[in-house]
Structures are given as structure tokens and as C-alpha cells.
Amino acid sequence: MENLFSTFSIKDCELKNRIVMPSLASFLIENNGSIPKEAIEHYRRRAAGGPAMVIMEACAVSPEGIVSPHQARIYDDRFVEGLSKIAHSMKAEGAVPAVQLHHGGRQTSAKVIGALPVAPSPLPCPSIRGEVRPLSISEIQELVKKFGDAADRALEAGFELIEIHGAHGYLINQFLSRFSNIRQDAYGGDIQGRTRFAREIVREVRKRVGDAYPISFKISAMEFVKDGLNVEESIAILKILVKEGIDVIQVSAGNDATPEWISQPMFMEKACLTDFACTIKKEMNVPIMSVGRINDPRLAEEIIKTGKADLVCMGRGLLADPAMPNKAREGRLDDIRTCIACNTCMESIFRKGRVECLVNPTLGREKEMAFEPTATPKKVMVVGAGPGGLNVAWVAARRGHDVHLFEKQSQLGGQLILGSISHYKKGLLELLRFQTKQMERFGVTCHLGQEVTPEVLKEHSPDVVILATGSTPALPPIDGVDSPLVVSINEVLNGHGRVRGKTIVVGGGPTGCEIALDLAEKGDQVTIVEMLSKLGSGLESMTRKILLRKLNENDVTLKTDCKVVRIEENGVAIEEKDGGKITLPADRVVFSIGNRPENGLFDHIKSMGYEVHRIGDCLEPRSAKAAIYEGAVLGRAI
């Protein structure tokens, strides 16, 4: 990977390779804006992993520009000390410390800032909604000064590059785009008017930092909305801003109405924004950073090698594995814990107020979940080789336990194997690859094709037994459920009994929707029958948006507020919300209505006197994330 790990310069800023960690909210900042030790450690670990530069998360330049109580801030001198600790921790680990200056504009709420959000125009945020207040010219000019004051503080804190956030539907983007700016004064109208706010900010920041200091600008080159920015207009905007002092450009996409282009789910292509970066690079005389589902060092190498960008931003990839750059440089590609674009990080922010990762359970908990060698090595039997079982096995083995993993099937992976059959979810195989590599690395003994019985327990005589036996699909107590029409999820995903024709998927949750899409793309006529009023409940919002769009594009029929009452000889009888009853013709019926735990061994093993634990679906059917996290915790506790 000689191209990815070649050096690069932005003015006097020397980069040891072409990998940049872009600004990503950590949600580790305290409500008063102070920076705890967990946030410092978060950035130190990412810097230690080998990227050339780490851009600290968006720092608000003004109190009304905050989008979350957990946002970092740079609008007062009291924040400099904490910011300095982050900058110096990055520098000490060999990464260039950078910081992003930000104002949320209308993309916040009165609940967060205690006042009406401000914006270029009286147009509410499409995602948050609610009244907003247009900025006066004097207020705009005061904000320009605040960006300059923030730049002074960034220098004092020790950051060596400043990025101005002009993307993702935030305030600067709002001024740039006709989608959000309908002003008729000097800050609206034509491209000169709409770029004036950004031009004045760049000019002010340049004045504060001097000529030799590098400034980056992040832009949403495509907003994917009516009257939104496109690549052609973005090029015109960027040429104007480069004349004012921009040294490097990060090419992103999306806004508050199209967030799926900001944090792309697994149903979108890898490196899906790189062509935009490439087009812009051909028209500009400054370096270009590409971002957007670049989760693999080999993909990053190809982007640099082919000249599509000068630098690659790998954000979620460094949440999943902070050491990814170092592992890639050393040729340890199989040892990389790859981001699978499940958007658990985004979902956890919105639902829990903290960032979490499906594949990396230690994210945000690095110190409390550090590996400590065991003082009392034990013989540990893990039953079940799904995501939870694999994780607990290698974690316990890494700490020094003698771990034996038993799986009644002939291969490792459990539900990861089935879940990865759709081409959209092949990334799950990357998780299986990583888990398997760790098993090998730390000496877990695997017993494949062997079911655990009382005799097997007595033969191996473990000190601890961990059940990770998962769950099996549930079936409803209705007439005809044992009909030949009914096939299991496993059979469908494995392609057994393949039929082309009408398939009814009963259950419109995440799994049901994914199965329906996979079958529709293979040529089936698919109908989803769901008892609730909406499909995809429980899915992260951006993933759900793309999945529902693809179901529509593939002509999947959606029947919500409907209950299946029986399976007939040639179809499915359903009852609609209004009490009407109809029969849907079907050649095949698939139930995806949840799972029931496989926990029959627990009581028996406990009665034999063994110390026994349960994790994952065998305790209660949930998600791979829960199973992996429980495995990580238990593996550290034994």
C-alpha cells in the first residue's frame, strides 16, 4: 500500500500518510462543554492507531449554534484548556491535531439552545421542524467575528489545521444552498450573495491564523434535494472560497433532509462519494479529501493510486478499529475489525445519547474495558459459535484462559452466516473474519460439528460454561403453519427449495424487510404482511429510509395493519384493520415474527454443578450488538 502510506504536505503541515480521521461526534463531552478524560482517551487512541491527521469533532463557535448538549465548544476561553489536552494527546501519538469549527444554524432546537434557532431564512429544518429566526446582517457579521475568535482559540490550544464546516445542512451550508437560503439581500440570491457568509468566514480565519497555516473547508457537493447544491455549483463555490484562502477541501454530501448521504448505511455502495471528489479534484488546484464508506485500506489505496483524491477520510472505520492504519501498514489486514456500516453509532447517539459500535463494544469505554490478564486461569467451555460466542471465546482466551468453543454446525458464525447472504450485508463476513482471526491468534480450541451433551461436559470437565446457543425463528399458533407452503428463514436465505413466484413474508421488522428485498431482487413477487402500521420498526432511521426505498423500487407489496389468521392450500388468509378478510395467493410463505431462545441446556448444566452463564439470544432474543457486548463484558469478568 505504497500510495496510501506515502507522505503528503498541506502548506507547512506534514502528513505521514494519506489517512485522515474526519470530525465525528463522540458524545463524550459533558453538558457544560467541559472535556472529560474519556474524550481525551478517545482521541488519543485514534491518533495512536496511525492516521496522519485526526480532526476533532465539530466545535460550536457560538452558544446558539450547538446542536446537542454533548457538543464540543470553542466560543469561550474557558474551553481552551480541555481542547488543548485533546490536541496535545493527538500530537504526542504522532498525528496532526486538527479541529472543526461549526455552527448548527436551524439544525437544532429551542430545547437545546433555549431560544429559536437561527438561519439565513425563515425555513424550518426538515428533520427537526419548528420555527426559526432569520439572522440580521449585523448578527451575520458578528458570527463571522466569532469564527475568527474560535480560530484564535484553536491556535492557542495547539491544533495545526482548522476545518470550517460548510456541509451537512448546518449554518454555512444553509447560506450556500438555494434549498435553505431565500434571502434577497447581500447574503442571498446569486452565487456571490450565497457565498458571502462563507467567504467572510474564510477571510477572517485566514487573517487570524496567518498565511502558512492550513485551512480546510468541508462541503456537501451534492444535497440530493430540489434547489440543493450539485457538483457543478459546488465547484463554482469552491473556486471562490479557494481565492479567499482555503488550502484543502473535504468532499461530502447530504443535508438535514438527506442524512443517509452523510452517514451511509450498508445498503449504499462503498466509497459512494468518491466520484464527486474526483470530479472536483479535476477542477481545483488544492488537495481533495474523499469521505463516505471508505472502510477498507485496500479501497483507500485504490482511491489514492488512481488519483481520485489526495487524502481519504476514514471515520466510522476508526471507531470500529482505532488501530486500522497501523495494522494495514504492517500487512495485518485480517486483524482489522472492519466497520460494517450498520449505523449503530448513529442510532445509539439519537436513542441513548452516547456513541456505540456493533463490532467494537469498547468504543467510549476504552479504559473500563481494558484487557487485564487473569490471575486464575480457568478451563472455559463456550457453547455456540455465533457473534456472542465467538467474542466471549477470544476475549477470555486473550486474558489467559484455556477456552474450548463447541458448535454443533460444521462452521463458525451462526446467524452471521445467514445474515450475510444478501449482497447488501456481505460486511457481516468481515466481522466473522475478524472474530475467527482473534480465535486463532489467542489459541481458542474449536470443536466443530459437536453437540454438547452431559457426556461431553463430563469428558471435558470445564471450570466455567458459557451458553451462546442463540435462538430459533418463532412460528405463530395458527392453522396451516405446518403447510408445505411454509419455509423457514434459513431455507430461504440458503436458497433451498428455490421457487419463482409469489412469496408472502409475514413480519415487516428488519429481518422480514431484508428477506423481502433479497427475494424481490432475485425475481420473486413479494408481499410483506405486518401487524403494525409501519415497517422496519427498530431499524436505524437512515438504514430504514434506504431499505423502504429499495422495497418500493423492487415492487414489493406492503400490507400493514394486517394479521395472518391461517395458511390455506394456495395462499395466506389475512384480516385487515377494518375487519375485512382476504386471501393472498402464495407459492411460498416465510415467517419473520421473532425468535425464541435456545436455552434448554441451562438448567441441566446448572443442576450438574457447573458455573454457567448465558449471553446473547439464548438468554433473550435481541441483536448481534447485544451479544457481542455481553461477550466482551463476560470475557473480561471470568
Please list the active-site residues.
170
* Neighbouring-strand partners of residue 217: 164, 249
| Contact (Cβ atoms closer than 8 angstroms) between residue 234 and residue 179 | no
Whole-angstrom distance, CA of residue 250 vs CA of residue 263: 15
Whole-angstrom distance, CA of residue 566 vs CA of residue 482: 11
Burial of 477 (0-12, 13-18, 19+ CB in 10 A): exposed
The number of beta carbons lying within 10 Å of the beta carbon of residue 481 is 15
Whole-angstrom distance, CA of residue 487 vs CA of residue 506: 11
Give counts: helices (H), strands (E), the chain: 22, 28
Task: Give the residue from 404, 417, 353 showing the smallest Cα distance to 378.
Answer: 404
How far is it between the farthest Cα atoms of the chain?
A: 83
Residue with grid cell 488544492, as numbered in its chain: 286
CA distances from residue 16 to 2, 289, 537 in whole angstroms, order as listed = 12, 15, 44
Whole-angstrom distance, CA of residue 288 vs CA of residue 218: 10
What is 97-132 written as a DSSP string?
Answer: EEEEEE--TTSS-HHHHSSPPEESSS---TTT-S--
For the chain, the straight-line distance linking the first and the last C-alpha, in angstroms and rounded, comes to: 40
Whole-angstrom distance, CA of residue 234 vs CA of residue 282: 13
Whole-angstrom distance, CA of residue 77 vs CA of residue 349: 28
Residue with grid cell 421542524, as numbered in its chain: 129
Cell for 505?
Answer: 413474508
Residue with grid cell 475568527, as numbered in its chain: 148
DSSP 364: T
